[in-house]
Structure 1
Amino acid sequence: MSGITYTVAGRIATITLNRPEKRNALSGAVVRELREAFAQAEADEAVKVVVLAANGKAFCAGADLDYLRQLQEFHFEDNYADSRELMQLFREIYELKKVVIARIEGDALAGGCGLATVADLSYAVPEARFGYTEVRIGFVPALVSVFLVRKIGEGRARELMLTGKLVDAATAERYGMITAVVPAGQMAGHVQAVAEGLCAEASSNSLTVTKQLIANVFDVSLEDGLEAAARTNAETRRHPDCQKGIAAFLDKQKPEW
């Protein structure tokens, strides 16, 4: 892996974009490396939380300029296959069985903003800027639109995607694009504390099932959604994690997750 690094410490996997000289821009190779890294984290039973970070001044500036030049020579079939690679990356992060935390310490633009959008939790330094800037170069934020409308609603999504404007971290938090703004000097410790808290205080099965519930809520009618939720409740009650947690609660003990 040349465009990213992958490390595991404790029960936390950290995937770090590592192209600071390119502002951590995305290319076909980097997208494939990210997919491989997230698959590795999901398959590792010792990993419970995944942190997505970046080296350098930018979190991710979107598509690599050299890559954009290359795309101009693609036929439709090539572009479609390439688009599906990025689609799969976004979907795999969104549906990953582990919680994904984005640690954003610089600008997140276009596809980079998409990465922030599909993470479960996103923390950004005050100086970070966000934007779906595709329309400014004659492109469209097609893939991220599916997730952004779900996350912040149609009105705000229209504003951001049609204008392509940049917003600061405080505005991104207010719009619901990110979870919170954290001072740069506190970022590493804050994200570590959140990740460790999830590892220590929540059941792995409960985190996975809760992510699935959230992801599926827009896909069904109210009646079908409630019926599926009732079945999920019943299934979860029989899971060893639930039985362990309830037994610990009744004994006034803290379960070890």
Structure 2
Amino acid sequence: MENLVLYQVAERIATITINRPDKRNALNPQLISALTAAFIRAAEDDLVKVVILNANGGSFSAGADLGYLQQLQQNSFEENVADSNRLKKLFTTIYYLPKVVIAQVDGHAIAGGCGLATICDIVFATPESNFGYTEVKIGFVPAIVSCFLKQKVSESVAKEILLTGKTFSAEQALKYNLINFVTNSSEIHQNVREFALSLCNGSSGNSLMVTKQLITQTNNPLLEKCLETAVQINARVRESEDFKKGISSFLNKEKINW
């Protein structure tokens, strides 16, 4: 089976690539675990100073894949807690990683895929890329990522994009402060590389690490409590009738009448 995640190091930059192009890089438990392992590897790699997260194919990540959604319908509460903790571990690994993480979003970042981009320290995206937390449209909630989203955008913006479940352009994401740069598809690889190299060559590795820690560990002292609550909410919502109805309609490509 082809590797779900690719890892390579050059010029003190680790590039972690999501490699499920045939599934639009959709998330499942195996991919989430593989990404977590890749980021831990980068954290422990003395040759690495900066990390780039990108994806193969035309999407950054389309969120949860269909097989994963089907499995969620069968899970017990305990299994859903364990599954939610798996996603929490990936997000906290990236958020607290002792190295700067740059997301290179060339293609759509939807639901969990949008969450993955949100967690990164710096985000580049192409004009054609769309973002969105579409969970409410299928009876789900963007629980875990909401804890991190509120660190980046205002409460009113968080409410707007989480409650409507709308998708929006990279330019709008820039206005929301969700991302940092919009750059053409033909240039994004080079621009991300140059930005990463500028950090590697122009800044102390220890200073980068401590500055990131200063921001992440002092910005929200209640983050861990928020995440614990989000995990429980995640699991509880998966037992609701609305979730079952939403997932069933989504999988069967039927219009959902809320």
TM-score category of the 2 structures, normalised to the smaller one: 0.7 to 0.9
Which residue of 2 is the match for residue 10 of structure 1? Answer: 11
The structural deviation recorded for 1:2 is 2.0
Is residue 35 of structure 1 aligned with residue 70 of structure 2? Answer: no
* Aligned mates of 1:78, 1:163 — CA distance in 2: 28
The structural deviation recorded for 1:217 is 2.6
Which residue of 2 is the match for residue 21 of structure 1? Answer: 22
* Aligned mates of 2:221, 2:129 — CA distance in 1: 36
Normalised to the residue count of structure 1, the TM-score between the two structures is 0.84
Which residue of 2 is the match for residue 188 of structure 1? Answer: 189
Which residue of 1 is the match for residue 134 of structure 2? Answer: 133
Normalised to the residue count of structure 2, the TM-score between the two structures is 0.84
Amino acid at match of 1:8: V
The structural deviation recorded for 1:71 is 1.1
The structural deviation recorded for 1:149 is 0.7
Q: Which runs of 5+ in 1 are unaligned?
A: 222-257
Between 121-130 and 4-13, the greater mean CA deviation after superposition: 4-13
Amino acid at match of 1:102: A
Which residue of 1 is the match for residue 47 of structure 2? Answer: 46
Equivalent residue runs for 1:154-165 within 5 Å: 154-165=155-166
Which residue of 2 is the match for residue 169 of structure 1? Answer: 170
* Aligned mates of 1:77, 1:35 — CA distance in 2: 21
Q: Deviations over 1:111-164 (max 9, x none)?
A: 000011010000000000000000011000000000001111211000000000
Change (3 A) 1:29 1:220: closer
Equivalent residue runs for 1:65-76 within 5 Å: 65-76=66-77
Is residue 117 of structure 1 aligned with residue 115 of structure 2? Answer: no
Q: Deviations over 1:212-248 (max 9, x none)?
A: 1111233359xxxxxxxxxxxxxxxxxxxxxxxxxxx
Change (3 A) 1:70 1:8: same
Amino acid at match of 2:118: T
Using CA pairs under 8 Å that are at least 6 residues apart, name the structure with larger relative contact order, 1 or 2: 2
Which residue of 1 is the match for residue 228 of structure 2? Answer: none
Which residue of 2 is the match for residue 228 of structure 1? Answer: none
SS in 1 for 2:27: coil
Which residue of 2 is the match for residue 209 of structure 1? Answer: 210
Q: What is the identity percentage for the equivalent residue pairs of Structure 1 and Structure 2? A: 52
* Aligned mates of 1:219, 1:96 — CA distance in 2: 16
* Aligned mates of 2:221, 2:78 — CA distance in 1: 32
Equivalent residue runs for 1:79-158 within 5 Å: 79-158=80-159
Question: Which protein shows a greater Rg?
Answer: 1
Which residue of 1 is the match for residue 233 of structure 2? Answer: none
Number of paired residues? 221
Amino acid at match of 2:135: E
Q: Which runs of 5+ in 2 are unaligned?
A: 223-258
Amino acid at match of 1:176: N
